């Protein structure tokens, strides 16, 4: 799929090991091998990008506003993805250490926006419509804009959740908030891990093991902690908080690798789980979701 195209979940069913074998065999053949190697690398990248986009944005079809928004976000997600270092993107390991956290944080925010669009379409559609008004000024702060604190993480206390005096307006609709945990993530997570446990061939890998090590009560607290830590860490370079010469010490290659890996974990895991929520739109079928997730397992 070309950059900018729509996600194609079917493409991600290709087994990476098969492509890897082809890669090795052909690369022994000199110049021709180098071309094939390049082509295979590009194909692998596209498959992985497509897989991540299909997990997070689903398979948006039709011409409605929500589908159009998600198609746009899938395209933007792919563009950002390529700005990450290998093996996830196309950048070299020694790429600009300040550019990687920027791309990683943008990918995390964009992924969360796409999942908010699927979990709570109203929230994103009103922002879209606000942006379509002639009065929309990018230089001006918009109170309705999607915010990390408030839309992704809930701001303020929510306990006790089911207090009879609590009005719906005080029930946080944050993507990783307590109410979304109870209504969306918890049941979806149970369906997801049951499907992973029964998958044939078995899905194995560090991320799957990490995922299966959490029960449904621990899932959102864990992923929320990971998301918050990754967001804060990536933000240090964006807001440029480094007032001493500590950039190199903080954003060394091992640390950037962990930061990007953590953000890919958050996005791919949430993207996989959300497709097991019965009320979320544009869900790929279970097989396609697991095939896409297998690439990040």
Partner 1 sequence: MSNEPQPLSQQEQEDYALVLAAEEFEIEAFARVHKFSDSDEVIIRKLSAHGPVLLQGGRGTGKSALMRETGRRLSPAAASKNAAIAIYISLRHLPLLRAAGSEYQRLFSVWVSEEIQRRLQDSDLDFDTVQDISSLKRELANLGQATGKRIVLLFDDAAHIGRETSLETFFDIFRTLPSDSISCKAAIYPGVTEFGARFDVYNDATVLDIVKNSEQSDFEEHFAAVLSARYPRLAELAESGRPSSLSLGKVSRFLGRAVLGNHRAFIFACNALSAFSDDSIGLTALQRTLVRLAASHYWPLLEEVKPKLGKYTPAADTATEVAEEMFKFCALSESSSVIIHRAVVARYSKVFEILEYAGFIARREASRAMKSGGRGPRYDLNLCNLLECVSGSRLTRRLFGVWSGDGSAVAQIHRGGDHFSTIAVPVPEERADLHVFEMPIDSLRKSDVYPYGLTDRKIEELQKSGFATIGDVAEASDHELLSVDTVGEVFLDRIRSIVAQAVWM
The residues binding partner 1 (CB under 8 A) are 190, 193-194, 197, 202, 204, 206, 209-210, 212-216, 218, 221-222, 224-226, 228-229, 233, 236, 242, 244-246, 248-250, 252-255, 257-258, 262
Q: How far is the CB of 50 from partner 1 (least distance, A)?
A: 24
- Residues 6+ away with beta carbon under 8 Å from 1: 7, 8, 11, 46, 49, 50
Q: How far is the CB of 216 from partner 1 (least distance, A)?
A: 6
CB of 33 or CB of 97, closer to partner 1: 97
- Is the link from the previous residue into 160 a cis peptide, with omega within 30 of 0? yes
Q: How far is the CB of 76 from partner 1 (least distance, A)?
A: 28
CA-closest candidate to residue 83, choices 51, 108, 112, 58: 108
CA-closest candidate to residue 229, choices 273, 254, 266: 266
Q: How far apart are CA 286 and CA 269, in angstroms?
A: 14
CB of 147 or CB of 253, closer to partner 1: 253
CB of 62 or CB of 221, closer to partner 1: 221
Q: How far is the CB of 249 from partner 1 (least distance, A)?
A: 4
Integer CA distances (angstroms), 182 to 158, 204, 242, in order: 12, 27, 39
CB of 75 or CB of 226, closer to partner 1: 226
Q: How far is the CB of 36 from partner 1 (least distance, A)?
A: 25
Residue in this structure with the two tokens 């009005």, named with its chain if needed: 167
Tokens of 59: 């398979």
Residue in this structure with the two tokens 């699927």, named with its chain if needed: 118
Q: How far is the CB of 189 from partner 1 (least distance, A)?
A: 9
CB of 250 or CB of 283, closer to partner 1: 250
CB of 67 or CB of 175, closer to partner 1: 175
Could you tell me if 116 and 123 are in contact, meaning their C-beta atoms sit under 8 angstroms apart? yes
Q: How far is the CB of 89 from partner 1 (least distance, A)?
A: 18
Q: How far apart are CA 275 and CA 273, in angstroms?
A: 5
Q: How far is the CB of 215 from partner 1 (least distance, A)?
A: 4
CA-closest candidate to residue 273, choices 202, 189, 200: 189
CB of 68 or CB of 241, closer to partner 1: 241
Half-sphere exposure of 129 (CA within 13 A, CB side): 9
CB of 231 or CB of 282, closer to partner 1: 231
- Residues 6+ away with beta carbon under 8 Å from 89: 45, 81, 82, 83, 103
């Amino acid at each position: 799929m070309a950059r900018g195209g729509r996600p194609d979940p079917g493409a991600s069913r290709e087994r990476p090991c098969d492509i890897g074998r082809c890669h090795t065999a052909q690369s022994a053949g000199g110049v021709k091998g180098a071309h094939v190697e390049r082509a295979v690398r590009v194909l692998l990248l596209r498959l992985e990008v497509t897989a991540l986009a299909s997990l997070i944005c689903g398979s948006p079809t039709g011409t409605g506003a929500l589908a159009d928004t998600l198609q746009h976000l899938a395209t933007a997600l792919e563009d950002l993805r390529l700005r990450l270092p290998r093996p996830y993107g196309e950048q070299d390991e020694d790429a600009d250490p300040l550019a990687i956290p920027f791309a990683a944080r943008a990918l995390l925010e964009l992924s969360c926006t796409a999942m908010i669009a699927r979990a709570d379409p109203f929230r994103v559609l009103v922002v879209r419509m606000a942006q379509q008004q002639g009065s929309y000024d990018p230089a001006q702060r918009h109170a309705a804009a999607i915010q990390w604190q408030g839309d992704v993480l809930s701001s303020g206390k929510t306990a006790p959740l089911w207090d009879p005096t609590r009005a719906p307006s005080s029930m946080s609709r944050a993507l990783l908030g307590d109410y979304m945990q109870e209504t969306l993530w918890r049941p979806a997570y149970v369906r997801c891990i049951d499907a992973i446990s029964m998958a044939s061939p078995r899905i194995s890998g560090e991320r799957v093991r990490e995922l299966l090590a959490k029960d449904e009560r621990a899932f959102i607290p864990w992923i929320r902690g990971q998301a918050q830590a990754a967001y804060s860490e990536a933000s240090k370079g964006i807001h440029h908080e480094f007032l001493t010469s500590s950039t190199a010490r903080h954003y060394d290659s091992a640390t950037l690798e962990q930061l990007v890996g953590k953000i890919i974990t958050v996005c791919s895991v949430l993207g996989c789980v959300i497709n097991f929520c019965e009320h979320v739109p544009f869900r790929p079928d279970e097989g396609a979701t697991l095939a896409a997730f297998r690439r990040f397992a």
